[in-house]
Structure formats: C-alpha cells, structure tokens
C-alpha cells in the first residue's frame, strides 16, 4: 500500500524528501481514482528505496490540494527537491506514471 500522506505530514514526506515523490490526489467516491489506486500501490512496491509513493485523500486533506491547484481527481504530481516537476490529470497507464518517476530519479 502506498503511504497515506496528510496535510500534517506532507511537508516532511514530500517537500523535504531527498528522493522523488509521486503523490496521488484522490477521493473514495471517485470512480477513476479507484482505477489509479492499485497502479499507485504497485508503483510504491516497485520503487521502494528509489522513490516515495503516496496518496492524499482530498476530502480529508484539502490544504495541499488547494495549494497545488488540484481541481480534478485523480491528479498525480511528481515532486523533486520540494518542487512539482511533472503532473498527470486523469487515469493513465502505469508506464506513464513510472516514466515520470524515472525522469525525476
């Protein structure tokens, strides 16, 4: 399972990470988010030690979703050195997400 990222731990897990970070902004009621969820969980396992992979439930944690302009979900942001370096809005195949992480490593 991907890490649960919240407004409280976002700074520590994402912005201060020395590794690239994939953050999936999602909600339980969102059908397309449920399609992306298992892909993100797989990526979490495959990239262990190389990248941080986590999910932000936008219903419970709105601060950083608002800060980064997440208006549609699922939205996946790739962070490197605390900055957004790539973005994917909507459902995409797994290789799209892994390609974005690979580019940031």
Would you call 67 exposed, middle or buried from its count of C-beta atoms within 10 A (0-12, 13-18, 19+)? exposed
What is the distance of C-alpha 16 from the center of its chain? Answer: 15
Among candidate residues 91, 31, 27, 89, the one with its CA nearest the CA of residue 61 = 27
Is 30 a catalytic site residue? yes
Catalytically annotated residue among 3, 27, 30, 85: 30
Sheet holding 52-57, edge to edge: 3-4, 52-57, 21-26, 75-80, 83-89
- Catalytic position from the list 33, 56, 65, 76: 33
- Residues noted as catalytic: 30, 33
């Amino acid at each position: 399972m991907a890490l649960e990222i919240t407004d409280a731990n976002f700074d520590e897990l994402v912005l201060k990470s020395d590794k690239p970070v994939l953050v999936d902004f999602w909600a339980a009621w969102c059908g397309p988010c449920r399609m992306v969820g298992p892909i993100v969980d797989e990526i979490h396992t495959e990239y262990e030690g190389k990248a941080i992979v986590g999910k932000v439930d936008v219903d419970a944690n709105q601060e950083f979703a608002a800060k980064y302009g997440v208006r549609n979900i699922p939205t996946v942001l790739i962070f490197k050195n605390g900055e957004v370096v790539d973005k994917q809005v909507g459902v995409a195949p797994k290789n799209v997400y892994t390609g974005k992480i690979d580019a940031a490593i």
